Amino acid sequence: MNVIQIRGQAKLVEWTDEARRLRRSVIPAGADDPEHGIPYGVPFEEFGAVVITGEQIADALHKVGIWTYEDLRAHPNEALGALNNITGLVYARLVNSARRIT
């Protein structure tokens, strides 16, 4: 358990749970059990899976002129840019979902 911040009678701590997932919670300054604290942050895992389809990937790559393995190898920056456009849509959905619960 790592102490991230102490504020008054509470501290923000970070630890790895039994599933080896990084967690944070707020606990009393004198406490040592982070799992019984108040969870810190947005519960992103509750948003469920975001699906990126093969069609979306193909469309994005085709729009930047990538059709073959050779195209993909010859134009990595264009390919990454196309994929970033797709993940940008995922990011926008994530921000909207997080805004609704905070």
Q: Is the pLDDT of residue 102 over 80?
A: no
| Residues 9 and 29 occupy one common structural domain | yes
| Residues 90 and 63 occupy one common structural domain | yes
Are the CB atoms for 26 and 40 separated by under 8 Å? Answer: yes
- The mean pLDDT value for 42-58 works out to 87
Q: At what angle do helices 54-63 and 76-101 cross, to 10 degrees?
A: 130
Count the domains in the chain: 2
| Residues 30 and 51 occupy one common structural domain | no
| Residues 54 and 90 occupy one common structural domain | yes
pLDDT in tens, 3-45: 999 999 999 999 999 999 999 999 999 999 999 999 999 988 8
Which domain range does residue 32 map to? Answer: 2-41
Question: What is residue 33's predicted lDDT score, i.e. its pLDDT?
Answer: 94
| Residues 37 and 51 occupy one common structural domain | no
